[in-house]
Amino acid sequence: MGKPTGFMEYVRTEFEAESVLERIRHFDEFHTALPLEEQRRQAARCMDCGVPFCQSGMMIGGMVSGCPLNNLIPEWNDLVYKGCWEQAYKRLRKTNNFPEFTSRVCPALCEKACTCGANGDAVTVRSNEYSIVERAYAEGYAHAEPPKVRTGKKIAVIGSGPSGLAAADQLNKRGHSVTVYERSDRVGGLLMYGIPNMKLEKHIIERRVDIMKEEGIEFITSCNVGEDISAEELLSKYDRVILACGASEPRNINVKGREAEGIYFAVDFLKSTTKALLDSDLQDGTYISAKDKNVIVIGGGDTGNDCVGTCVRHEAKSILQLEMMPKLPDTRAENNPWPEYPRVCKTDYGQEEATVVFGHDPREYQTTVKEFLMDENGKLKGAVLVKLKAEKDPQSGRLLMKEIEGSEYTAEAELVLIAAGFLGAQKYVTSAFEVETTARGNVSTGCGSCKTNIEKVFVCGDMHIGQSLVVRAIREGRNAAKEVDQSLMGYTNLK
């Protein structure tokens, strides 16, 4: 431990964000990294405590506490404090294939479980991670390291999101020959088209993928497995197949008027903006535009917030974000103690921007859509909304949201974005491989395993565990790689 009293001497200092009115004029990342000496002081705040909950990745109270990748956080914090940046990068990469992604988009489960945060401000783990990996690229030691020996085994990974990329990266390091299939025109899956540029600029993904290509991984894009290439062909060509296609079946809102023109799933809206941005800097007019429209975003999670931030940049006329559930408390409740993940109200970048632009928080809690309204041409013109009340189910104890009679009101809307979550894997893929699925639509496996009911076929990521975080997807990919390697070689040294 470099500085035992660091957590008492230094106050938490985070990256500075560009002002709202400046950053909404572009789609770039908008945080400024700390100077290196300040980042070293922030790393010195790490207590190297006896029980580092930050790296535990345990389930406590039904929620993940600490890093699911079990990142060696106290070790690389100490190395950063001592100025040993290359060693810190090597320790970081030992458990995390893609710190350049997680340091941008992860909600920092590690910080929520930090011992410093039990009675004060947590260590700035995520910004320390960001500084480590960006310095590695700047100084040239984040580079390709192809395996020296090949095993002769061939593996197909279907899907190039975080879980698929992690599985491919691990198996390639082991010496297997890996081919990644992606149905979109660019590699990255959720990272490329599900997360907006302002959270993760796409050259960051391409930078890592270029290294993976140099290390020997083959990427085939614009190839939809189950349609452009059959499951039978893949199973005959490869020794193992890993399904990493995500939980990409969006949950619909089935109410009267759903067929109105102007209602889209959030993922389609976000993808259209990112693709147009990359293809033509938004000049080709191919994206779903919110400009000068009254927008309703249905869903209060990260995807809903991303829709809000994107609509602000489109110069929407107004934005209303609907959340079915009651507003969470601003601070931890007594029944949600540290180191549980804090169930508190979070105002993210999109909501912050909408508040500044429109003068009020865009969120409307305990509210849902009862009917969509359309004009004589079938175009969306508004929605009938209804307020909800929370009632506990006497049998299960679960919180149920019931309509409040007579609480209906109408809101103008020319654009509605449905960000109500996902229902599991898309059926055409699971049917193609004849893998069993759960009642939730995820691919079924044995407890603690990634192996499906079909010989040679494994699964990982959201397709396996349901909609989750990038950091959990990476862990899933690593788990699948380990199990595949074990099945091929009879043993494994992958972690």
Selection from 476, 489, 493, 488 nearest residue 161 by Cα: 476
Percent of the chain with pLDDT over 70: 100
455: tokens are 């010989």
Order the strands of the 457-459 sheet from edge to edge: 218-220, 177-181, 154-158, 240-243, 457-459
d(CA 289, CA 5): 52
- CB proximity list for 40: less than 8 A, separation 6 or greater: 80, 81, 83
Mean pLDDT, range 343-355, rounded to an integer: 97
d(CA 241, CA 250): 25
* Least confident window among 49-53, 132-136, 339-343, 481-485: 49-53
Kindly state the DSSP code that residue 355 receives in the 8-state scheme: H
Residues across the chain: 495
What digits encode the pLDDT tens for the residues 174-216?
Answer: 999 999 999 999 999 999 999 999 999 999 999 999 999 999 9
Residue ranges, CATH 1.10.1060.10, the chain: 6-139
Confidence of residue 410 (pLDDT cuts 50, 70, 90): very high
Q: What is the pLDDT of residue 133?
A: 98
d(CA 66, CA 381): 45
Mean pLDDT, range 324-338, rounded to an integer: 94
d(CA 461, CA 371): 35
**Identity (one letter) of the amino acid at 283?**
Q
Does residue 1 surpass a pLDDT of 80? no
Whole-model pTM: value is: 0.96
Confidence of residue 2 (pLDDT cuts 50, 70, 90): low
* Least confident window among 4-13, 215-224, 388-397, 473-482: 388-397
Average pLDDT of the chain, as a whole number: 96
Q: What is the pLDDT of residue 354?
A: 98
Selection from 176, 199, 202, 178 nearest residue 189 by Cα: 202
89: tokens are 């990068």
CA Rg value for the chain: 23
- The dihedrals phi and psi of 59, each to the nearest 5 degrees, come to -90, 120
The pairing of strands 240-243 and 154-158 is parallel
| CATH (one of 3.50.50.60, 2.60.40.10, 3.40.50.12780, 3.40.50.880) for 154-248+423-489 | 3.50.50.60
| C-beta neighbour count of 143 within 10 angstroms | 10
CA distances from 361 to 199, 332, 407 (A): 21, 21, 21
Q: What is the DSSP string of 187-249?
A: TTTIIIIIS-TTTS-HHHHHHHHHHHHHTT-EEE-S--BTTTB-HHHHHHH-SEEEE---S--
Mean pLDDT, range 22-46, rounded to an integer: 95
What digits encode the pLDDT tens for the residues 242-252?
Answer: 999 999 899 99
Q: What is the pLDDT of residue 326?
A: 94
What digits encode the pLDDT tens for the residues 243-280?
Answer: 999 998 999 999 999 999 999 999 999 999 999 999 99
Mean pLDDT, range 443-451, rounded to an integer: 95
What digits encode the pLDDT tens for the residues 53-82?
Answer: 999 999 998 899 999 999 999 999 999 999
Residue ranges, CATH 3.50.50.60, the chain: 154-248+423-489, 263-418
Q: Which fold has domain 263-418?
A: FAD/NAD(P)-binding domain (3.50.50)
357: tokens are 């632009």
What digits encode the pLDDT tens for the residues 116-170?
Answer: 999 899 999 999 999 999 999 999 999 999 999 999 999 999 999 999 999 999 9
The pairing of strands 318-323 and 294-298 is parallel
CB 386 within 8 A of CB 403: yes
CB 468 within 8 A of CB 301: no
| CATH (one of 1.10.1060.10, 3.40.50.1980, 1.25.40.10, 2.60.40.790) for 6-139 | 1.10.1060.10
d(CA 267, CA 253): 14
75: tokens are 């070790």
Q: What is the pLDDT of residue 426?
A: 92
The pairing of strands 63-65 and 58-60 is antiparallel
Q: What is the pLDDT of residue 394?
A: 84
Beta-bridged to residue 417, according to DSSP, are: 264, 297
